[in-house]
A and B are shown apart, each in its own frame.
Chain A
Amino acid sequence: MTAISEYPAENLRMLETMFGGSCDLITRELEEDGRKAGIALLDGMCDEMKITEAVLKPLAKKKQTDKSFAEEIKDSLYKGTEIGELHSMEEAADAVSGGNLVLFVRGSAKGLQFSVQGYPARAVSEPQTEQNERGSREGFTDNFKDNAALLRRRLRTPALIMERLTKGKTSHTPVLLCYVRGRADEKMLRQVRKKIENAQLDCIFGAGYLRPFLDSGRPSLFCTSGLTERPDTLAAMLSEGRIGIIVDGTPFAVIVPYLLSDYFHTVDDYLASPYYAVFMRALRMLCFLAATALPGLFVAVCLFHPEVLPSDILYEIAAAESKTPFPLMTEALIIHLIYEIVREAGLRMPVAIGHAVSIVGALVIGNAAVTAGLIAAPMLIIVALTTVSSSVISQLHEPVAMIRFALILVGGLTGFPGIVIGCAVILTDICSHSQFGVPFTAPLSPFSPSAQRDTLFRQDWKKLGGKAARIGEMRY
């Protein structure tokens, strides 16, 4: 650690050296009342108005007293701005990097940092990945302070604790560990904190960087930590005793522990009538099964077990398939690969061109391929059903896409036994995860009848509101 010099000019020079003469580092020497001071900040990272109102103007009006110069400044400057003391040049460099203004005064071996950040940030907008019908329209932004405020607005209790950590050797990204005191399990909290602290990362540019460190140890297709873009979802999860992690620079917060059943719940479930919510949850689970296993099952049934299908349907499929040049399994693989390409193109292309890609995908590939006899219509129907089902559970798209391809291959090579053994392996994989002592499959397996009021089913708020659910109760 390099000590702060009592000479501001020396400190400013040292900062310039530390920043390698970067052009956006602004350093100025000031002289007030015969005593020298120096300020440093990064261009574009600070709000000029805040600097003038909170630092420079009060500094000019300051009267000399018996206190040390640094103490005087700290006491007399505008109280609305967050002020902190700095004890080393490394701390000063970190503060400047974080968008703070750093002040050195002659005769003091300490520096002062003023929170006058004013960097450009996206305003609060509707969440892009978690659309809803009746819930809040506010989504997280890229600024962690805004996100903290959005969360605090929904949980107005001093029990909501936010611990600030800094991660990333180079990026020094602020990370907020959020939980509700008294509800989050202490042991779980210690484990999460330790895992984040031990995470060896050079840079963090998104919540996804931390997820592998929080997931259960076994490699898996499924993530046992969740992501949300919605402050209301995070607030609800925290009130259940879960732990949230907000990373600066991303509109997604990580939730731990995250259960398999959570993937099938949405905000609208809690705003719609219970019977409809139950129906929708069942539908989403069905969609998950269809999105993963339907193409594989179709291939296996058509190739190995045609006796399962009624003769009329079987004849139609056979007639359509006889006109295509590819074997059924290859056809299924090709068309799903095309779908993944179209999806990826739709995601990466500029919005204006995205529509064109959709049209090309839907009309040119779909319609023309069937007309040209390259792909059979029944297969296209299966693909359409699969992709629509996949969109219903968009958070699970990554594992679903991988499993789908695997099951098409297994179904095409080994038929129904392969499909069921493949499904059994996936089931085993899902069942093998526990996060901070909570099984990923809880409360379905191990089965907890009392927890079913908001898992498979969703009770009326009159009953559900009486006793808040606790994730800690599912620990094994």
Chain B
Amino acid sequence: MIVPLLFAPLCLLMSVPVFIILRREPEGGLIGLAEKRLPGAVPAIAALYALLFLWAAAVNTARTALFVETVLFPDSRTGFIMLLLLIPAAYAASAGLETIGRTAFAVFVLSAAALLGTGAAAAGNFDLLNLSPPFMNGFLPVFLSAFHSVSRTYEIAALPFITGDVRRSVSKTALLWLGIISLTGTLLFTLSFGVAGAYGSNRLFLFFSVIRTASFGLLERPDPLISGLWLVCSFVKSAFFLFLACRLFCRLPAKKQYPSAPYLAALASAALAAAISPTADVLEKLLQSRFYEAVFPVFVTILPLLLLSADALRKRKNRRRTT
């Protein structure tokens, strides 16, 4: 329960350099700052982040495919599910960020309604005694758990690349987004552990296990419907990452838009997803590995910090020259 509450402050703490960049370069974001201070490094930075987003799309797809394969269709082929998810996602990515945003809004409303409905339906199985004291084993495990969650939130790394498209205040939007995630996470975890208890800690798809216990009037088992909604969320997420990967890749040779780029990115992402998930065990080990904890700060904190340092150095040099 405490883990999601720690999520927001930890996110904020790690993304301080990103927010500073957003204040300095509200239009251009991270790439805009790099173009001003380190023009030679722009292709490298763009390529690095593009690969990160391609990787994020692949992981998201692999995880969704694993879910479908293990829960919905045990006999289905992973490659087929990945393509079923990624090709439409590429279509959405080709439609642009505005389209993805509008779709995401509609999906958000549906998800919120589904969460409320499921929560209400599963509330009968909720038991306060199932919730253990959060700091029973000390603060460190709680902090590490929160860090584990944060390091899988690639959307923070996406913030400096979409600033030019955001019409309202970027900082306010980001804060609102963090607030919503924290609140939803808290509710989900509370509900899930309140229903599943200690049994929940070793479930691969905890929330799915919880909604299996719920029933809505005529619908005896709403889990396929809720799983469907989860698939749509995953589709939007993949579309967003593919869009970002394409936007950054398209900056490498020339600032041009390639209509087929999202589809190529989807294929690359599908190949990557297939490579990292030959079996459910391999994927799960990868998802639980410390690799994420190591890589994530590089993109969200260290690289933006380096750019800010370069910016500060260049400013100091300029000031010396003028004096």
Contacts and interface: CB of A to CB of B under 8 A. Distances in A.
Interface string A415-453: 111111101110111011010000101001111000000
B297 interface: no
A444 B103 CA distance: 11
Contacts of B218: 309-310, 313
Interface in A401-421: 414-421
A434 B228 CA distance: 28
A428 B221 contact: no
A444 B110 CA distance: 13
Contacts of B219: 308-309
Contacts of B224: 301, 304-305, 307-308, 416
A431 to B, nearest CB: 4
B220 A310 contact: yes
Interface in B103-121: 103, 105-107
B167 A427 contact: no
Nearest to B96: A432
B69 to A, nearest CB: 11
A218 B99 CA distance: 12
Contact of A417 (B167, B221, B228): B228
A415 B72 contact: yes
B241 interface: no
A370 B95 CA distance: 45
B88 A309 contact: no
Given A417-B72, A445-B105, A218 B95 contact: yes
A425 B100 CA distance: 11
Mostly, the B contact residues are: helix
B227 A416 contact: yes
A101 to B, nearest CB: 54
Contacts of B220: 307-311
Interface string B86-103: 001001100110111011
B221 A308 contact: yes
A311 to B, nearest CB: 8
Interface string B52-92: 00000000000000001000110000000100110010011
Interface residues on B, range: 35 or more
Interface string B206-239: 0000000000001111101101110110011001
A67 B295 CA distance: 93
A210 B6 CA distance: 57
B105 A447 contact: yes
A414 B102 contact: no
Contacts of A421: 84-85, 88, 231-232, 235
B221 A431 contact: no
A106 B15 CA distance: 87
Contacts of A414: 84
A443 to B, nearest CB: 12
A420 B229 contact: yes
A386 B229 CA distance: 23
Nearest to A433: B99
B92 A428 contact: yes
B228 A419 contact: yes
Instruction: Output the residue of A307, A311, A417, A429 with the most chain B CB within 10 A.
Output: A417
B102 A445 contact: yes
Contacts of A419: 228
A377 to B, nearest CB: 19
Contact of A420 (B96, B105, B222, B232): B232
A340 B26 CA distance: 53
A446 B102 contact: yes
A432 B99 contact: yes
A417 B68 contact: yes
Nearest to B228: A420
Given A418-B84, A421-B84, A421-B235, A308 B99 contact: no
Given A310-B218, A416-B225, A428 B91 contact: yes
Given A308-B224, A417-B68, A417-B72, A428 B84 contact: no
B223 to A, nearest CB: 8
A301 B221 CA distance: 11
A425 B88 contact: yes
Given A307-B220, A445-B106, A446-B102, A432 B72 contact: no
A432 B262 CA distance: 15
A428 B95 contact: yes
A419 to B, nearest CB: 7
B167 A307 contact: no
A424 B105 contact: no
A307 B227 CA distance: 14
Interface string B226-265: 0111011001100100000000000000000000000000
Interface in A295-322: 301, 304-305, 307-311, 313
Contact of A428 (B88, B167, B227): B88
A305 B212 CA distance: 13
A420 B225 CA distance: 9
Interface string A137-161: 0000000000000000000000000
Contacts of B221: 305, 307-308
A428 B227 CA distance: 19
Contact of B236 (A218, A310, A424, A446): A424
A427 B84 contact: no
Nearest to A422: B88
A304 B228 CA distance: 13
A434 B218 CA distance: 39
Contacts of B100: 428
Interface in A358-383: none
Contact of B73 (A415, A424, A431): A415
Contacts of B229: 420
A425 B96 CA distance: 14
Contacts of A439: 98, 102
Nearest to A419: B228
A413 to B, nearest CB: 10
A431 B91 CA distance: 12
B72 A428 contact: no
Contacts of B96: 432
Contacts of A431: 95, 99, 102-103, 106
Interface in A53-77: none
Contacts of A476: 98, 167
B103 A427 contact: yes
A420 B106 CA distance: 13
- Ranked nearest first, the 8 interchain pairs of A and B with the lowest CB-CB distance are A420-B228, A431-B102, A432-B95, A432-B99, A445-B102, A428-B92, A305-B224, A445-B105
24 contacts: A301-B224, A307-B220, A307-B224, A308-B219, A308-B222, A308-B224, A311-B220, A313-B218, A414-B84, A416-B72, A417-B73, A417-B84, A418-B84, A419-B228, A420-B229, A420-B232, A421-B88, A424-B92, A424-B103, A424-B107, A427-B106, A431-B106, A434-B98, A439-B98
Given A415-B73, A445-B103, 9 more contacts: A414-B84, A417-B73, A420-B229, A420-B232, A424-B88, A427-B106, A428-B91, A428-B103, A434-B98
